[in-house]
Structure 1
Amino acid sequence: MSPHTSPPATAGLGRRLPLLMALACGITVANVYFPQAITPLIAQSLGVSPATAATLATVTQLGYAAGIFFFVPLGDRLPRRPLVTVLLTVTSLALLAAGLAPATGLLLAAGTLVGLATVVPQVLLPMAAGLVEPERRGSVIGTLQAGLIGGILLARAFGGVLGEHLGWRAPYLIAAALTGLLAVALGLVLPTTAPATRDRYPTLLADTLRMLRTEKELRRSVFFQVTVFGGFSAAWTAVALLITGSRYGMGTQAVGVLALVGAGSMFFAPTAGRWVDRYGADRVNLWCIGGALAAAAVLTGGSLGGAAGLVALGAGLLLIDVAVQCGQVANQARVFALRPEARSRLNTGYMTCSFLGASAGSWLGTRAYTHLGWAGVCALIAFAVAVALATYPTGPALTCCIGHATSDRLDHLP
């Protein structure tokens, strides 16, 4: 343990605080995702094309990736409680500005600032990982990840339903109020943690880039998440265009209903954490890659239209949501086990790359839908996930995975 590393404060986490932190993860990350459900309403209100309005989702995710890179490393350098409070306050003000924006340019600028500042989940996750013993780390990460998943998926229902009935500005204004209240609550209850390092800010950023180059397990986690998360983002960005287009002719509220179906994946995250604790991250990653490939196949049924198409969309989106979120638990458990004194910087490198992949997925998904239709989006998802499968280790990691499976079977023999 380095001179500036604080020991795990298990007692400081308690039983209720992880639940509050999970709620905080959900509320804050929702700010990145609810714009995906209301872009058709924004296009109609501001008189721009649907593709131009969909750019809002892309710039918000790019802002999120940039915010992770520039702000999350400060979690190793500064006390996390005031850092979280400041970030939430800035996010609340940016959401208010977006909700009042009179034109597309100001909306895109405010959306970018929302993405930059709403990185609180990526500060809370390494904080929680450092407050528990290693054998419970996967379970606690899974709890926070469940909140994160709920925020990602329910955000679309929140945005779609409110946008349909109250206009596209309502989700922004309500999110601004919720985020402001969250800033007060976390400022009161988060434990005080000592900084893990006294390195200067430029050193923190340089360390993040260096660890991406030197930490093999970090790069593996990044690659698994970028490919699957990119496919996930392409699906959710394009499905709003499909549902509100000529094939279905439905409103944004329908996108919200689909998101409620996908929200079932939030119940898998705590279980995924226990699987990681028991079987290891590699095996969970392999299951998730297989699930994402199956999702791409099921989603092709969305081209049918009608009730059959909606069932295929709901089932496929649920599958890919489960694959992404369970894979996230496995990847972050692997990353947080590498260097306890640098968890925020490790998470910075991992999540920055993840959301760059998500931004690319949103952009490619929109283009694929515009030029090739929904079938093109499904092919894009399948290709991204197939790349992850093609690079899955066939050496020691897979042998270890098979060995664990064999051992489990032998353990149950009489």
Structure 2
Amino acid sequence: MIFILALTCGVAVGNIYFPQAVSPLVASGLGVSPDTAALVVTAAQLGYTAGNFLLVPLGDRLPHRPLIAVLLGVTGIGLLGAAGAAGLPALVGASAMVGMTTVVAQVIAPMAAGLVPADRRGAVMGTLMSGSVGGILLARTFGGMIGEWLGWRAPYLVAAVVALCLAAALAFALPATVPPSRQPYPALLAEPLRLLRREPDLRRTCLYQATVFGGFQAVWTGVALLLTGPEYGLGAQAVGLLALVSAATMFCAPLTGRQVDRRGSEPVALVVMLGTLASAGVLAFGALGGAAGLVALAAGTLLLDVAMQSGTIANQARIFALRPDARSRINTAYMTCSFLGGSTGSWLGAAAYGRFGWTGVCALLAVLATVALARHLLRRPGGARETREAAGIVAGNAEAKSRS
């Protein structure tokens, strides 16, 4: 079942990322500038932010099986609409709709966290993250290559067929679950804001993810413009091929999950922020162009991908220890902040590239990583969340020993 859930996460998350590889093709196909075509990516991320706020809390109120199947079905319809869009406004609207409903991975993560003991939660989050990373990588690669061969509409059509088929299969394959809350929908929507106000460790974690993910999105928006611009003069499929370099992240995610189970979230978070800051320095050499620049881009994006995905695992293990009875609502607050940061980072990345070039994008990543690192170093060690997380790890280890 964990494998099926990881596969579903990959398919859902991929719908947010393949537009990054095809946005240059959208620009030429619809006769708009590359900066304007990047609005398609931003719209998908803003839609995803809205979906996290409006739809993910339903995971605490509705059975997971019909909720996940319906969300995937509506995603497929939105992808068909994007494939048939006659102009940029229609495409941006369809992208926002797809982003809003393809939040299935954020419904699955809290569900899976409640199905395993505390000492295995990090490992399960790592497995789900491997599926998501695989979806990101394959989505960028497939989007770039299929778009280059068949036009920018083809990736949307293929993604629509996959989403609709998966929705039909999951309607029968997923286990039945009992929702933990009977709160009405307006109360569910208000709860993430209350949790942000009451839980300082949730606010801190949201800042970590918003800054690191914002830098991540800025880089991937900028790298598509860099590779297809005059510095390299490559096609859209080069963006997809570059994404394949980050396949190592799929194997790092389970290792990170085990380290979180063993050591806790905070040491892993520190390594993540240092790795993000280091990736900015490596990526800056991509401005050299040629073979040396491509090597720098490959090494830098790999380091950034590993850091960002590892940070997500550590962050979700931390927040899921806060309120076991409200995991979907906590995840709503977390992912809403994450994609607000991501969509802002995507917009800032396009703006920085347009004004300062690739060096400006790398400087933006460094600033965002520094903000996260400074907040982490200024936290109060041994706070309530860290005590609860440690207690959960100890209790989970004790439970595992008793079972063996």
Residue in 1 aligned with 2:246? 262
Note the C-alpha offset of 1:395.
Answer: 5.9
Deviations 1:102-123 (A, max 9, x none): 1111111110100010000000
Residue 101 of structure 2 aligns to which amino acid in structure 1?
A: A
Structure-to-structure mapping, 1:154-193, within 5 angstroms: 154-193=138-177
1:45 aligns with 2:29: yes
Structure 2, gaps ≥5 residues long? 391-404
Aligned twin of 2:100: 116
Looking at structure 1, the residues matched to 213 and 100 of structure 2 have their Cα atoms a distance apart, in angstroms, of 19
Q: For 2:353, which of 343, 366, 369 is the aligned residue?
A: 369
CA shift at 1:393, angstroms?
3.5
Give secondary structure in 2 for the equivalent of 1:392. helix
Amino acid at match of 1:173: L
**Aligned with 2:284: secondary structure?**
helix
Distance in 2, matches of 1:395 and 1:262, equals 31
In structure 2, the partner of 1:141 is 125
Instruction: Indicate the residue corresponding to 1:58 in structure 2.
Output: 42
Equivalent pair of 1:34/1:155 in contact (CA under 8 Å): yes
CA deviation vs aligned residue, 1:365-389 (integer Å, no higher than 9, x gap) = 0000000000000000000000111
Question: Is this contact kept in 2: 1:282–1:398, CA < 8 A?
Answer: no
Counterpart for residue 57 of structure 2: 73
1:355 aligned to 2:355? no
Deviation at 1:153, TM superposition (A): 2.5
Alignment of 1:191-270 (within 5 A): 191-270=175-254
Once residues 35 and 349 of structure 1 are traced to their aligned partners in structure 2, the CA distance between those partners, rounded to angstroms, is 25
Which residue of structure 1 aligns with residue 296 of structure 2?
312
Pick closer, same or farther for the CA change 1:253–1:279 going to 2, 3 Å. same
Structure 1 unmatched runs, 5+: 1-16, 405-414
Q: Which residue of the partner structure matches residue 77 of structure 2?
A: 93
Aligned to 2:400: none
Higher mean displacement: 338-347 or 389-398: 389-398
- 1:325: how far off? 0.1
Equivalent pairs, count? 386
Give the distance between the partners of 1:274 and 1:234, measured in 2 at CA. Answer: 29
The alignment yields a C-alpha RMSD, in angstroms, of 1.4
Give the corresponding residue for 2:13: 29
For residues 262-411 of structure 1, the aligned pairs below 5 Å read 262-394=246-378, 396-397=380-381
Letter in 1 for 2:110: P
Residue 55 of structure 2 aligns to a residue whose secondary structure is helix
Q: Is the 8 A contact 1:273 1:329 kept in 2?
A: yes
CA drift of 1:394 comes to 4.5
Structure-2 separation of matches of 1:324 and 1:246 = 29
Q: Distance in 1 between matches of 2:186 and 2:230?
A: 51
Query: Aligned AA for 1:95?
Result: L
2:79 partner amino acid: L
CA deviations over 1:274-307 (Å, ceiling 9, x no partner)? 0000011000000000110110000001000000
Q: C-alpha separation between the residues in 1 aligned to 2:253 and 2:124?
A: 10
The residue identity in structure 2 corresponding to 1:176 is A
| Structure 2 Cα separation of the partners of residues 285 and 154 of structure 1 | 26
AA aligned opposite 1:161? M
Deviation at 1:150, TM superposition (A): 1.5
Q: 1:398 deviation in Å?
A: 8.3
User: Which residue identity does 1:52 align to in structure 2?
Assistant: T
Secondary structure at the residue paired with 1:195? coil
SS at match of 2:336: helix
Return the letter of the residue paired with 1:301: F
- Which moves more between the two structures, 387-396 or 314-323? 387-396
Question: Aligned letter for 2:213?
Answer: F
Q: Give the drift of 1:265.
A: 1.1
Q: String of CA shifts for 1:254-283, please: whole Å, max 9, x gaps.
A: 001100002221211111110000011000
| TM-score for both structures, normalised by structure 1 | 0.91
Of the structure 1 ranges 324-333 and 214-223, higher mean CA displacement relative to structure 2 is found in 214-223
In the TM superposition, what are the counterparts of 1:120-135 in structure 2 within 5 Å?
120-135=104-119
Question: Would the aligned equivalents of 1:154 and 1:263 in 2 still touch at CA under 8 Å?
Answer: no
Please state how far the C-alpha of 1:100 moved relative to its aligned partner. 1.0
The percent identity for this pair of structures is 59
Q: CA deviation at 1:396?
A: 4.8
**What is the alpha-carbon distance in structure 2 between the residues aligned to residue 252 and residue 396 of structure 1?**
46
Whole-Å separation in 2 of the counterparts to 1:133 and 1:398: 23
Q: Which runs of 4+ in 1 moved over 6 A?
A: 398-401
Contact preservation (8 Å) 1:229, 1:357: yes
Could you tell me how far apart the structure 1 residues matched to 2:381 and 2:172 are?
44
Q: Distance in 1 between matches of 2:46 and 2:342?
A: 9
